[in-house]
Chain A
């Protein structure tokens, strides 16, 4: 997969390790709270942080309900794949979708992050709004 060179993978891993050290958290193992997998729960789901198929996926409630300008609505929850934000959206029934899997709802933001990793097949995510 040409989009994820070994050099880039190592660079990303180093950056993540540095970030984890800076914030005093343990890197790269599943530390999500169980409620993050529950649809229909009131309020935003909990945070998660894990390595899935060799890529770090993270999710957390986003303060203020927005994180970027542009055409993005700000869903109140932010998901990252190897540190790049993945646009996600919560449906009325509590299910979730992401910009790389926009027509197939899944039960939780972590499931959306995993579906994105599956879909990406190792390719890097581009920051949104798209170029």
Chain B
């Protein structure tokens, strides 16, 4: 059974195996297919048109499935690997062990944003940025530059307290839990973390940075925490909503799974803490 752990509590061996599986997916070309898929959805999802991966109720189940696909790919390389999560409300400094050279490497240098240490530094030769929107082929970051502070636990709690999953018009203008977690409205949780990391993480090709998976694994955990706090509240909308994935409608690109199928994560993985 897959147990997703807080990245801060991984052993040295768990970090080594996770990094090695990432590098093997990259080498084989499978990694970049995930970047391409994400960018296609982020460009295609619009507030007044069809929207599936972002700015819509299915933001959460879509990313849950996307991460499951990615985790299964990692496990096809090394069956012991699970996606760790990054609780950025606790590990909120560029000096966190997350950014050490034995794990994800640190922030970029000031001249061009290039990450110069860790397994994903361009100088390693193992992490070419091939799915990109500009000419730069090296991983970039600017931790804490685009926005100074990561969300606090109090801000997380204020969003978890929202009892309605999502609301019309089911987009970036919505009130409710999903859009406050996504960050288009209110204190801004998910979006702000992308901006805080900077570099490719701030762009449509954000999965180029491996921290993408750890960020979204924590967003996914917050959805699970919200469900436990609000057991009577369910995914919305229920049915008949144009351009939006209703509870029992299938989601692109898989076309074989609905939000209803993904509400319970426990058939797929559990977390190290409740």
Residues of A in contact with B (beta carbons under 8 Å apart):
1, 3-4, 71-73, 75, 87, 89-93, 99-105, 119-121, 123-126, 128-131
Tell yes or no: B135 within 8 A of A by CB. Answer: yes
Q: How far is the CB of A105 from chain B (nearest CB, A)?
A: 8
CA distance A75 to B194 in the complex (A): 23
Extra contacts besides A104-B195, A125-B134, A129-B43 (5): CB < 8 Å: A72-B44, A99-B205, A101-B202, A102-B42, A119-B203
Residue of B nearest to A124 (CB): B135
Task: Please tell me if the beta carbons of B36 and A130 are within 8 angstroms of each other in the complex.
Answer: yes
Q: Residues of A contacting B132 with CB < 8 Å?
A: 126, 130-131
Partner pick for A91 among B40, B49, B173, B192, CB 8 A cutoff: B173
Q: Residues of A contacting B40 with CB < 8 Å?
A: 71, 129
Q: Residues of B contacting A105 with CB < 8 Å?
A: 184
Residue of B nearest to A102 (CB): B204
Task: Please tell me if the beta carbons of A99 and B203 are within 8 angstroms of each other in the complex.
Answer: yes
Contact-residue bracket for chain B: 35 or more
Tell yes or no: B122 within 8 A of A by CB. Answer: no
CA distance A87 to B48 in the complex (A): 17
Task: Please tell me if the beta carbons of B191 and A126 are within 8 angstroms of each other in the complex.
Answer: no
Q: How far is the CB of A17 from chain B (nearest CB, A)?
A: 22
Q: How far is the CB of B188 from chain A (nearest CB, A)?
A: 9
Task: Please tell me if the beta carbons of B43 and A126 are within 8 angstroms of each other in the complex.
Answer: no
B interface: dominant SS? loop
Task: Please tell me if the beta carbons of A104 and B146 are within 8 angstroms of each other in the complex.
Answer: yes
A interface: dominant SS? loop
Q: Residues of B contacting A102 with CB < 8 Å?
A: 42, 194, 202-204, 206
CA distance A55 to B183 in the complex (A): 31
Q: How far is the CB of B218 from chain A (nearest CB, A)?
A: 16
Partner pick for A92 among B36, B48, B133, B146, CB 8 A cutoff: B48
CA distance A18 to B77 in the complex (A): 53
Shortest 8 CB-CB contacts between residues of A and residues of B:
A92-B173, A3-B135, A103-B194, A103-B191, A71-B40, A92-B47, A99-B204, A124-B135
Task: Please tell me if the beta carbons of B135 and A123 are within 8 angstroms of each other in the complex.
Answer: yes
Tell yes or no: B39 within 8 A of A by CB. Answer: yes
Partner pick for B43 among A3, A73, A91, A131, CB 8 A cutoff: A73
CA distance A119 to B140 in the complex (A): 11
Task: Please tell me if the beta carbons of B133 and A93 are within 8 angstroms of each other in the complex.
Answer: no
CA distance A103 to B48 in the complex (A): 18
Task: Please tell me if the beta carbons of A71 and B44 are within 8 angstroms of each other in the complex.
Answer: yes
CA distance A130 to B37 in the complex (A): 11
Partner pick for A121 among B49, B112, B169, B183, CB 8 A cutoff: B112
Q: How far is the CB of B266 from chain A (nearest CB, A)?
A: 30
CA distance A120 to B203 in the complex (A): 11
Residue of B nearest to A121 (CB): B112
Residue of A nearest to B199 (CB): A119
